[in-house]
Structure 1
């Protein structure tokens, strides 16, 4: 990996090459080690970088393998504008868990006793997960309804098949009866050859009567079907109307107000993020300046001759109670600068708290908005279905009126035809005429039963086609249930993995670094009820425990506040490493940066670096010369920047 830098932090211009593995940036304070780390961060896309104080623009170019990335910085009216083509589009994971400079939130969270769970879960889009859960739950309900309908259809299919069998049996019986009746007619017709003309007229009248009766039967059958459909639609409409009335009202204005409020809160959140980034840059710069001002900077600030500047620099280096102000060049008590830094750090902590509060409020509003939108979608669906039902009811009522009118007309026509048949009947041929009437009635009944069977068979075919979809729906239901189970447990799985990673690595590192009387540092996930607005909800937190032991070997629980600075730094680094592993940062960020390890002694720094080196392709560490001397001599070293 090759890095070319111009006007970043305190760097004028430099080019550095890194080999995979550990690179130690060895040097005293104010030797641009942190500036080089910031340049790497800038090349990867981070905004947590400062432009050289006397420059209006800066740039970084980074080549990894055959790919080249670049980043530009320009100062406009006191604001830094970035451009270029960095390695990452989104650096949230890297800023939290890979770029572990002193101001890194993961490192600072332990020392400040901040919400560790919030920090680990911040990269997880919980709103998107909840929205996907709601979508899958709606799909699951729809599938369950369809499967329930198919179960009912399967039961209905059995009844229809029994009905078809019964109708087939009836058709067979009617056909046998009709054949027998036609044989009787054939025998009787042999005796009445002389009355063929009268018979044909009578037969024509009987045929017409048969057709009229068939039409009447079809009309009555359709009328019954339409009435049943009408009743089913009226029942469904009543149920839908009840569902609609039970839904809470969802004025569009409420959703728009919530969206407006979310937008306002997000604008405020972005503003706070900008402020926090600026504060981190200011605090980090001032802390570096407090650690020691270089001779070159003092010469520039004082504007003295070389001899005078050299004498003054020696005096300032020796004087640990005062420092040259890097804004006006005058000498000021170091305590005043430190007090200002304390106030800035307190202000930054307040902004952190406000940011967390805003995120919680946005999450609550988003959840409320999702609920209102779900209610509105359900209301729209019900109203659309009600409109469809009303249209269908109107159509069926019109059709029922038409069928009733047709039925009345057919009944009048049948009555007329029956009178006509009676007039044509003669006393001498009454038996033959009776046989014709019976045969016609059998034909009519046979036609009616066959029509009923055709209707039943058509309904059976439709149901069988729908039931065939059952296996496909079952498979989709299983997929939806698996996805739901995965989504519902994904957040808990990430929490569990983060805790396991931290506890496992913390135990190993403590054994490796051998801190006296420090037995164990571990995280426990706890759940408790909190009140948010008018609701009481369950909320999980990560509680950090410290276990120490007395000289006699008795173990007792201590507090984070009692950890030494070295112990706090190690704990913060291990917490950041847990986040690095849980979110698989190594898949998108091949580098880890470490800075400000002075609170840890040299031997422990060496052991810690060797341990962490296994988890990143490139590990770049800023070290003081004495600390760099303790690490593996085979590591790459950069001593001049």
Structure 2
């Protein structure tokens, strides 16, 4: 940065309109309170890309223009529906790093996190791109859980194999026994010999009759099986229909319309937006009046008063005027003297009104949430009712189709049973003394052949299941190898994250030690961050996560050293600790390479000499350092710095 910096702003913070020129290096904004120093810092933040700047309470639009090194950066702010919308062409596309560690106002997130005693890991690691690593860790953990479930399933299947093998062996033995008996019967029939040709023809007739009977019985069993399957399916559909009808009765049959609720929600949101605007305006009025009241309602011209004192025409010493006992203040709207209590009473009423509006806004939000929830429930119920009714129609059609099929199968069964009865009756005609043994042998053979078919079918099913399990179990080594590979990859990724976290913590600790040594803050000897593991619950699982705890070492008046926590620090000590942490973040993350500005505010917890040392230290890193100070806090700073007293 080699040229002067021009900042022009309208309606930002408490600023109506201003144009200020800054110089490269250190710029000191001095003056008493309520002189828009913080608003000017917010102006620079807005031009650089931050979204944490505020629009003037009584304005609907504002703008910022920042110029340096022949470049110009603009930002436009507009109030829409109770929210401030940003537009324009700022210096930074992503201001997150600068918001965290370069724009160090009192509202800075890093400073506030330390004051509140929050876990600092998220803040420290946010600028470090570990999202890709974390996403890969999550993906691998999910795959590992799937593989674990797969291995458990394979173990269960492996345990199922011995019983299946035992069943298969038993079926093989039974098939072998049945086959042997069939062979015996067939041999008996072959040995049966009739002497005359007519007898041989009679034997063929008997064998044909029993072959027809066997075929008819097989067909009868097939029809019985199909009929049983259809009846089971029919019964299952009836159960599903009954359950759906019960579910349908339980669905809220209210006549309330989701569209009507949507209209009500939009109406309430409109009222809430109006309240947001009112609350924002009230807050701006209250803040403005509080600042003016703190300054006694007027701006005193020190040089003019001094000249009046020298000429003997003044009303007394300046200090006496500033410290007078008068309870009146100069009204900043009409210029008359007004009793302070009247203004404070008005402010109290404004605060009460703002609180009432906040309560009303909360009530509206609760109504919006309730109506939105109800609207969602109604839509879900409507969708559920539609799904149930559609399924019930499909079930009715399916029941009708299956009922017809059952009737057809019952008729087929009746016809086939008659056919079997007729064939059995025909077979019985062969039962006389001469052919009794042959008839009995055919009956046994027929029964055994049917049994053999059933046994072989059952044996094949068991063998198919065994083959299926063995094929799956063959995958175990591959699954185990993949799981081991994932374990190695997870270990490597976690080690990488651990290393990144450890390096970040070490860097923060080193820089905090350096900054604290510059400040020579006697109340605090050391500040450091400890990285530790903690167990947290994510859904149903407990997982290990890292936390960054801030530790503080202090020394008592008698020289005893002890460790303390942020909770036990005074307000000023918390401010210093938060500032040290935020400044360390500026150095750790090389923020000066991202944005050429550094903004400092709210340094009242540090005396003038220490502020001077701090500014001198960071002057080496940043192109333009802008620090807002009270006049007394700026006394020790170098006269070579650029000073801005009017904004």
When normalised by structure 1's length, the TM-score is 0.56
CA distance in 2, matches of 1:474, 1:406: 57
- Report the Cα offset of residue 108 of structure 1: 7.9
**What is the match of residue 447 of structure 1?**
453
1:604 aligns with 2:607: no
**What is the match of residue 198 of structure 1?**
202
Which of 418, 422, 446 matches 1:416?
422
**What is the match of residue 549 of structure 1?**
556
**What is the match of residue 333 of structure 2?**
327
Q: How does 1:296-335 map to 2 (within 5 A)?
A: 319-321=321-323, 325-330=331-336
**What is the match of residue 5 of structure 1?**
8
- Report the Cα offset of residue 447 of structure 1: 2.2
**What is the match of residue 70 of structure 1?**
74
Contact 1:206 1:421 in 2 (8 A): yes
SS of the aligned residue for 2:429 comes to helix
Q: How does 1:196-235 map to 2 (within 5 A)?
A: 196-219=200-223
CA distance in 2, matches of 1:73, 1:121: 29
**What is the match of residue 167 of structure 1?**
171
SS of the aligned residue for 1:70 comes to strand
Mark the CA change 1:558 to 1:175 in structure 2 (over 3 Å): closer, same or farther: closer
1:25 aligns with 2:28: yes
Mark the CA change 1:181 to 1:456 in structure 2 (over 3 Å): closer, same or farther: same
CA distance in 2, matches of 1:181, 1:157: 36
Contact 2:22 2:642 in 1 (8 A): no
CA distance in 1, matches of 2:283, 2:591: 22
Contact 1:120 1:579 in 2 (8 A): no
Q: Alpha-carbon deviations, 1:330-389, whole Å to 9, x = none?
A: 5678x779958996998799799979x969x97xx89x979x98xx99x979x979x79x
- Report the Cα offset of residue 419 of structure 1: 1.5
Contact 2:75 2:89 in 1 (8 A): yes
**What is the match of residue 46 of structure 1?**
51
CA distance in 1, matches of 2:433, 2:457: 36
Contact 2:603 2:611 in 1 (8 A): yes
Mark the CA change 1:406 to 1:165 in structure 2 (over 3 Å): closer, same or farther: farther
Q: Alpha-carbon deviations, 1:579-630, whole Å to 9, x = none?
A: 9999999999996532242452122224555788999998642246775675
CA distance in 2, matches of 1:512, 1:558: 22
SS of the aligned residue for 1:319 comes to helix
Mark the CA change 1:271 to 1:248 in structure 2 (over 3 Å): closer, same or farther: farther
CA distance in 1, matches of 2:553, 2:99: 27
Matched length: 561
CA distance in 1, matches of 2:278, 2:96: 15
**What is the match of residue 130 of structure 2?**
none
- Report the Cα offset of residue 18 of structure 1: 6.1
Mark the CA change 1:275 to 1:78 in structure 2 (over 3 Å): closer, same or farther: closer
- Report the Cα offset of residue 554 of structure 1: 9.6
Q: Alpha-carbon deviations, 1:419-441, whole Å to 9, x = none?
A: 11121455434444444444433
Q: How does 1:98-113 map to 2 (within 5 A)?
A: 99-102=103-106
- Report the Cα offset of residue 448 of structure 1: 2.4
Contact 1:56 1:75 in 2 (8 A): yes
Q: How does 1:50-449 map to 2 (within 5 A)?
A: 50=55, 58-61=62-65, 70-73=74-77, 83-84=87-88, 99-102=103-106, 159-188=163-192, 193-219=197-223, 270=276, 274=280, 278=284, 282=288, 286=292, 293=299, 319-321=321-323, 325-330=331-336, 410-425=416-431, 427-449=433-455
Contact 2:82 2:273 in 1 (8 A): no
Q: Unpaired runs of 5+ in structure 2?
A: 124-142, 491-500, 531-548
Contact 1:518 1:549 in 2 (8 A): no
- Report the Cα offset of residue 209 of structure 1: 0.9
Mark the CA change 1:337 to 1:619 in structure 2 (over 3 Å): closer, same or farther: farther
- Report the Cα offset of residue 216 of structure 1: 3.5
CA distance in 2, matches of 1:77, 1:266: 9
CA distance in 2, matches of 1:119, 1:354: 33
Q: Alpha-carbon deviations, 1:539-567, whole Å to 9, x = none?
A: xxx99999773458598999989947x54
**What is the match of residue 493 of structure 2?**
none
**What is the match of residue 489 of structure 1?**
none
CA distance in 2, matches of 1:577, 1:264: 43
- Report the Cα offset of residue 206 of structure 1: 1.3
